[in-house]
Amino acid sequence: MRTATLTRRTAETDIALALRLEGSGEADIHTGVGFLDHMLTLFTRHGGFDLTLTCRGDTQVDDHHSTEDIGIVLGQAFREALGDKRGICRYGDIHLPMDEALILAAVDFSGRGGYYGQLPIPTEKVGAFDTELVAEFMTAFAREAGCTLHLVRLAGINSHHIIEGAFKALGRALRAAVRPDPDFGDQIPSTKGVL
């Protein structure tokens, strides 16, 4: 089983995370940021992963440090769980509808981490959550996971739907990318021989 268990402590956050790639979509998530808990629960279910996550952060300041640091640790967990990426499909993509919103997500576990978002969100907040933090989370995740990540809003006017669609789409695209590829066995999916 491909798993990772990580902790990260800074002056701003204290995070404990356990990830199982071959899961059943079970989430036990307590970040102190209610909207992020909801998004990560959806991400976990749609990815088919198991994720246990706790974060104690300086949310009395705002949700920035918790959101970004969770992205960092979750990305590191994917990198650790995938090891040398031998035998994975490597790529995953989906067009995901969420009511009026339509999101494209595409992932490549290239080893070169980068987030390339075209995900404009109409409002500055959803509830108490600062919507600009979606990009902070995705940037941190992609960098630490070593994956190229594209998220594109093709349609949508409701900020909650756009963000929810993005997290669901990310889970589905990752699920496809990390899946074992029966056509290539235990080969590394790159002509370079390393990812």
Q: How high is the pLDDT of residue 174? A: 98
pTM above 0.85, yes or no: yes
| Radius of gyration, CA atoms only, the chain | 16
End-to-end CA distance of the chain: 20
- Asked whether residue 75 carries a pLDDT value surpassing 90, the answer given is yes
In the chain, DSSP assigns E strands to 3-9, 13-20, 27-30, 50-57, 91-98, 101-108, 114-118, 125-126, 129-130, 148-155
State mean pLDDT over 85-93: 97
**Looking at domain 3-178, which CATH architecture does it have?**
2-Layer Sandwich (3.30)
18: left (phi over 0), alpha (psi -120 to 50) or beta: beta
| Reported confidence tier of residue 37, pLDDT bands at 50, 70, 90 | very high
What are the tens digits of pLDDT across the range 105-157? Answer: 999 999 999 999 999 999 999 999 999 999 999 999 999 999 999 999 999 99
- Asked whether residue 185 carries a pLDDT value surpassing 90, the answer given is no
- Asked whether residue 1 carries a pLDDT value surpassing 90, the answer given is no
- Asked whether residue 179 carries a pLDDT value surpassing 90, the answer given is yes
